[in-house]
Structure 1
Amino acid sequence: MIIPSPPQGVWEIGPVPIRAYALFVVLGIVVAVWWGQKRLSERGGAAGTVGDVAVFAVPFGVVGGRLYHVITDHHLYFGAGRDPLRALYVWEGGLGIWGAVALGAVGAWIGCKRKGLPLPVFADAVAPAIAVGHAIARLGNYFNQELYGAHTTLPWALEIYHRVDANGVADQLNGVSTGVPLPGSPVHPTFLYELLWNLGVAALVVYVDRKQRLGHGRAFALYVAAYTLGRTWIELMRTDPATPVFGVRVNVWVSILVFAGALAYYLWARKKGPREVVSASPTDSAADLPHPTGARPRE
C-alpha cells in the first residue's frame, strides 16, 4: 500500500487561486479558537475571550512564523538566482512553529491585557487546541507535497509526483500532477508523523490536566515539551534543505533547547500552588460587583 499525493494543491476560481495550504491553516485556527474557548469557559472564562485575544495573537503568530522560517531557511530566498520578494509569499507555505508561538504569545499577551485575563490562564486553556490546530494545518503540507523524509518501502509510504503548470513547465507548488513519481519516491510522510504526534500531544495535555488540574502555564509547558520531544526525531528524518548548525538541522537544536526550557518551567511552576480561579468577567473590579447586603464594600 502506498499513499498517493493529491494531484494539485491550488485551484483557480477566475483570477483567484484557492490554496489548500491556506485553507487548512485557517481551519486549524478556527478549530483552535473554538476548542480553546470551550476549555476557557469550563474554567469560568467569559464567552468570546479566546476569539478576542486571537485577533491579536493570530496576526502576530503569522508574522513570527514567517520570520522564523525565512531566517532559518534564508537560502531559499537570498543569494544567487533567488528572489527575496518570495520571502513575503506566505501562501506558498513556510511558517516556523517556534516563531509563531513566540510572537503569537506577544499578541496573546496584548489581547489578555485588554481583557484583564492572566496570560498563563489563557495559555493553559488553548494549549491542546493549538496542538490540534497545528495538526490540521499539517494537511496543507500534504497538498503542497512538502515536509517528507527519505525513500521508504513501508506500507504508509507517500508517493510524490512531478507537477507542471498549464504550459507544461515544472511547478511543484502550483502545478498539476503528471502521475510520474519523483526520483526517490515513495518517501516517509513526516508531515503525517507530526500530525499524529500533535494529536497525541493534545490527548496527553487533556489527560494530565484533568488528573492534576494544571495551572500557572503548566498545561502549555507540557504541550511545548511533548511537542518538541516528537519534533526532534521527526526533524531528523526530513530531507528537505535546512540550515545546519554544527552539522545538524537548526530546528533540531531549537527543539532541544525549547524542550529543556519547557520542562524546567513545568517543574518550577508546581511551586505556584493550585490552579488559578478565573472570573467570568475578568475586567470587573470588586468595587463594581453587587454586595450581598446591597451596600458597597469599604475601600
Structure 2
Amino acid sequence: MFQLITASIPSPANGVWELGPFPLRGYALCIILGIVVAIWIGEKRWQARGGQLGEMQDVAIWAVPFGLVGARLYHVATDWKNYFGEGGEPIEALYVWHGGLGIWGGVGLGAVGALIGARRKGIKIAPMLDALAPGVLVAQAIGRWGNWFNQELYGRPTDAPWGLKIDQDHFSSAYLASQDYRDALAANGGIPPEFATFHPTFLYECLWNLAAFALIIWLERRFRLGHGRVMAVYVMAYTVGRGWIEYIRIDDVQLDDVLGLRFNVWTSIVLFVVAAAYFVWSLRKHPGREDEVYVDATPVAPGASVTDEASTDD
C-alpha cells in the first residue's frame, strides 16, 4: 500500500526533550500521569465505599513498583530475542525509557503489590481491587500515548484519514518483510518511503479503555457490583478490546502464532474466561456489595500498618 497521503495523524518529531543534562521523555510522562490519575480516581472511589483518604496512596506505594517490574518482565519475556538473541543487548532489557511495558505483567504483579499493601492496612482485597480497577483503565488510556511519542506498537498500513504517520527509522521488521513494503518500494522507484501511515492502535486502545471505564461505572451504579466483580468486568472489557486490536498490530512479538493466534490474543482469551467464571461464581456466592471494606471493620490511619495500630493498644 503506497499512495499520496492527503490526511494523517502526525507522530512527534521528537519524543525526548533535553533539560540540561536531564532527558524528559514523553513515554515516561504518560506513564507517570497515568499512575497519578489512577491513584486519584482510586482514592475518590475508595472514600465513596467507606474507606479513608490516603489509603489508596499507601497501597500504591507497593502496587506501582511491583507493577512496573511486572510489566517490564512480561515485555522482555515475550520479546526476549530482542535482548538475548543474536545481535541483542541484554543490558537493554533494563532500558524502560525505550518503551516496552506489558500490561498483563503490570496488572498481575501490581496486584501482588496491592495485596501486600492492603494486608498491611487491614483492607479487604475485593473492595480495594474494585475501587482501583476503573482508574487503571484510564491510566492505560493515558499510557498508550507513550507509544505515540515512541512511534511504536502501531497497526497494519492504512490510507484512512486517521492513519498514523510513522517515520522510516521506526518501521518494524514485520512491515519491512511485508508485501505492503515491497509495493511501496515498487511505487517509489525502489527508494524506501520516507514514511508510511498505519492504524493508530494506541488511539484505538485509548478510546476503548475510556469507553470501558464509562461502561464499568454505569454497571457498578446500576447493579451495585461488589466482591471483586468490578475488577472482573474490567478484565473482561479490556481483553475484548485488546483481542481485536492485536489482530491489527504488526509489532515484532517473539512469542507469536501459538496455534494460529498471537500470544497476546491467547492471553486475552484465557483471562476473559477466568474473569467471566469468577464473575458468575462471585455473583452466586456473594450477591450484592460488601458492607465493610476493612478486615476488622476498624479503619487504619493512613501511613500506619495493622501491626502499628495493634502496638499502640498494648
TM-score by length of 1: 0.86
Q: Secondary structure at the match of 1:18?
A: strand
Partner residue, 1:268? 281
Partner residue, 1:91? 97
Once the two structures are superposed, residues 133-187 of structure 1 have per-residue CA deviations (whole angstroms, 9 ceiling, x without a partner) of: 11000011001001111111111111112459xxxxxxxxxxxxxxxx9567111
Once the two structures are superposed, residues 178-231 of structure 1 have per-residue CA deviations (whole angstroms, 9 ceiling, x without a partner) of: xxx956711100111001100011011100000011111000100100100010
Structure 1 counterpart of 2:266, from 237, 244, 253: 253
- Is the Cα–Cα contact under 8 Å of residues 154 and 250 in structure 2 kept in the other structure? yes
CA distance in 1, matches of 2:169, 2:261: 30
CA distance in 1, matches of 2:79, 2:34: 24
CA distance in 1, matches of 2:127, 2:235: 15
- Is the Cα–Cα contact under 8 Å of residues 83 and 93 in structure 2 kept in the other structure? yes
Structure 2 counterpart of 1:231, from 242, 264, 267: 242
Displacement, 1:73? Answer: 1.0
Structure 2 counterpart of 1:203, from 201, 209, 214: 214
1:131 aligned partner, one-letter code: L
Partner residue, 1:282? 299
Structure 2 counterpart of 1:11, from 9, 17, 29: 17
CA distance in 2, matches of 1:199, 1:131: 7
The equivalences for 1:45-194 within 5 A come to: 45-162=51-168, 185-194=196-205
- Is the Cα–Cα contact under 8 Å of residues 69 and 96 in structure 1 kept in the other structure? yes
Which stretches of structure 1, 4 residues or longer, exceed 6 Å deviation after superposition? none
Displacement, 1:267? Answer: 1.3
- Is the Cα–Cα contact under 8 Å of residues 150 and 184 in structure 1 kept in the other structure? no
1:35 equivalenced with 2:41 (yes/no): yes
CA distance in 2, matches of 1:237, 1:279: 41
Q: 1:279 to 1:106 in 2, by over 3 A?
A: closer
2:262 aligned partner, one-letter code: R
CA distance in 1, matches of 2:51, 2:234: 21
Which range moved further: 84-93 or 244-253? 244-253
- Is the Cα–Cα contact under 8 Å of residues 46 and 279 in structure 1 kept in the other structure? no
Displacement, 1:22? Answer: 0.5
Displacement, 1:279? Answer: 5.4
Q: Secondary structure at the match of 1:215?
A: coil
Aligned residues: 271
Displacement, 1:119? Answer: 1.1
Partner residue, 1:222? 233
Displacement, 1:249? Answer: 1.6
Unpaired segments of 5 or more residues in structure 2? Answer: 1-6, 171-191, 310-314
- Is the Cα–Cα contact under 8 Å of residues 168 and 195 in structure 2 kept in the other structure? no
1:23 equivalenced with 2:36 (yes/no): no
Once the two structures are superposed, residues 103-147 of structure 1 have per-residue CA deviations (whole angstroms, 9 ceiling, x without a partner) of: 001000000001111111111011110000110000110010011
- Is the Cα–Cα contact under 8 Å of residues 160 and 182 in structure 1 kept in the other structure? no
Displacement, 1:78? Answer: 1.2
TM-score by length of 2: 0.82
CA distance in 2, matches of 1:183, 1:255: 35
- Is the Cα–Cα contact under 8 Å of residues 12 and 18 in structure 1 kept in the other structure? yes
Aligned residues: percent identity? Answer: 54
Once the two structures are superposed, residues 229-279 of structure 1 have per-residue CA deviations (whole angstroms, 9 ceiling, x without a partner) of: 010010111011112123422111101100111111111110212211235
- Is the Cα–Cα contact under 8 Å of residues 120 and 216 in structure 1 kept in the other structure? yes
Two-structure CA RMSD over aligned residues (Å): 2.0
Unpaired segments of 5 or more residues in structure 1? Answer: 165-180, 289-299
Q: 1:279 to 1:159 in 2, by over 3 A?
A: closer
Give 1 or 2: higher strand fraction.
Answer: 1
CA distance in 2, matches of 1:117, 1:182: 56
